[in-house]
C-alpha cells in the first residue's frame, strides 16, 4: 500500500523531468542551422545573371543597375555584396522598409552567383571569398574572440545575440549566418554596419573571427561540449538535473519521514 502510494507520487515528477528533457532535445534540433554550399564562382554566367536582374531587380535598381529613387546604384558594390544580400534573403526587397530583413533566400546558390557575376561585370568591387578564406578550422578562435570584442560586440552583443540600434534598425544575431556571409558582411558593411577593409581587419583576422563565431555555436563557454547544445542547452541541463535532483530529494525525504 505504502509502496504504490509512493509510486503514484513520483510518477508526475518523472513526467516533468521527461518533459524538460524533451524541450532540450527539441531546442537542439530546431537550432541546428543549415550550411549553404559554396561552389567556386563562375564568371561565364553574366548573361544569365543579367536576365535574372532585369526580371527581379531592375524596378528598384535600374536596368543597368545605375540606381533609381528607390534603390541605390550597384555599380562597383561587387559580387560579395550581391551574394550577401541575395543569399541572406534581404534582396530582392519585398517592400520598402528602414532595413531589409533577412528572410528565406528567393534564389538558389547557382542563380545567386549568376546575379553576382552580372553586377561584378559592371564595375570592380569585392569578390566572393574562396572557401579557404572562410574555413573556420583554419582560423585562430582565441584571437578571433579578442577581435570580435573590440570590433563587433558593441552592436552584435558579446556572444553574437544581436541588439537594437537607433531609428528602428538593429544588428541581427549571428547564429544562422554562414562563414561566407560573415566574411561578406565584414567586407561590404551592409546598412549601419561599418566596412572592415584589409587595413582595419586583415583577411586572416576575418577568418579568426569566423572561427570564433562558429566555435561559439558548437562548444559551450565552459569548455564542455554537451552534444553541441551550446550555452542555452547547457542551462537546460542544469535546470533538468538540478531541479529534478532537488525534487527527487524532497520526495525521498518526505517518503522517509512518513
Footprint of ligand HEC on this chain (CB under 6 A)? 56-57, 59-61, 70-72, 74, 77, 81-82, 85-86, 88, 90-93, 99-100, 102, 115, 151-152, 154-156, 165, 169, 171-172, 174, 177, 181-182, 185-186, 188, 190-194, 196, 201, 209
Cα 7 from chain centre: 46
CB of 44 to ligand HEC, least distance (A): 18
Rounded Cα gap, residues 129 and 177, in angstroms: 15
Rounded Cα gap, residues 38 and 108, in angstroms: 11
Phi and psi, residue 206, nearest 5°: -60, -40
Query: Which three cell numbers, joined as nine digits, stand for 223?
Result: 569548455
Q: Classify residue 256 by burial, with Cβ atoms within 10 Å: 0-12, 13-18, 19+.
A: exposed
> Do 134 and 183 form a contact (C-beta atoms < 8 A)?
yes
Nearer Cβ to ligand HEC, position 190 or 233?
Answer: 190
Q: Is the dihedral of CA 52, 54, 56, 60 positive or negative?
A: positive
Nearer Cβ to ligand HEC, position 64 or 151?
Answer: 151
CB of 134 to ligand HEC, least distance (A): 11
> Do 236 and 229 form a contact (C-beta atoms < 8 A)?
yes
Nearer Cβ to ligand HEC, position 145 or 240?
Answer: 145
CB of 201 to ligand HEC, least distance (A): 6
CB of 247 to ligand HEC, least distance (A): 40
Nearer Cβ to ligand HEC, position 207 or 240?
Answer: 207
Nearer Cβ to ligand HEC, position 196 or 236?
Answer: 196
CB of 95 to ligand HEC, least distance (A): 7
Amino acid at each position: 500500500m505504502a509502496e504504490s502510494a509512493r509510486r503514484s507520487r513520483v510518477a508526475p515528477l518523472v513526467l516533468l523531468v521527461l518533459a524538460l528533457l524533451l524541450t532540450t532535445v527539441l531546442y537542439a534540433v530546431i537550432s541546428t542551422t543549415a550550411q549553404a554550399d559554396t561552389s567556386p564562382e563562375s564568371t561565364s554566367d553574366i548573361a544569365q545573371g543579367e536576365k535574372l536582374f532585369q526580371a527581379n531587380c531592375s524596378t528598384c535598381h535600374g536596368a543597368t543597375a545605375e540606381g533609381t529613387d528607390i534603390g541605390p546604384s550597384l555599380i562597383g558594390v561587387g559580387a560579395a555584396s550581391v551574394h550577401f544580400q541575395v543569399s541572406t534573403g534581404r534582396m530582392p526587397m519585398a517592400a520598402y522598409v528602414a532595413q531589409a530583413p533577412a528572410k528565406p533566400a528567393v534564389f538558389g546558390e547557382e542563380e545567386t552567383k549568376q546575379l553576382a557575376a552580372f553586377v561584378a561585370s559592371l564595375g570592380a568591387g569585392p569578390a566572393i571569398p574562396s572557401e579557404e578564406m572562410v574555413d573556420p578550422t583554419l582560423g585562430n578562435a582565441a584571437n578571433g574572440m579578442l577581435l570580435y570584442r573590440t570590433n563587433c560586440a558593441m552592436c552584435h552583443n558579446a556572444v553574437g545575440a544581436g541588439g537594437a540600434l537607433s531609428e528602428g534598425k538593429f544588428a541581427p544575431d549571428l547564429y544562422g549566418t554562414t562563414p561566407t556571409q560573415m566574411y561578406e558582411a565584414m567586407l561590404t558593411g551592409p546598412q549601419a554596419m561599418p566596412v572592415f577593409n584589409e587595413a582595419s581587419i586583415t583577411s586572416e583576422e576575418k577568418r579568426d573571427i569566423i572561427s570564433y563565431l562558429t566555435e561559439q555555436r558548437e562548444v559551450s563557454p565552459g569548455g564542455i561540449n554537451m552534444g553541441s547544445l551550446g550555452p542555452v542547452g547547457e542551462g537546460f541541463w542544469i535546470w533538468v538535473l538540478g531541479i529534478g535532483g532537488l525534487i527527487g530529494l524532497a520526495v525521498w525525504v518526505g517518503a522517509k519521514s512518513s
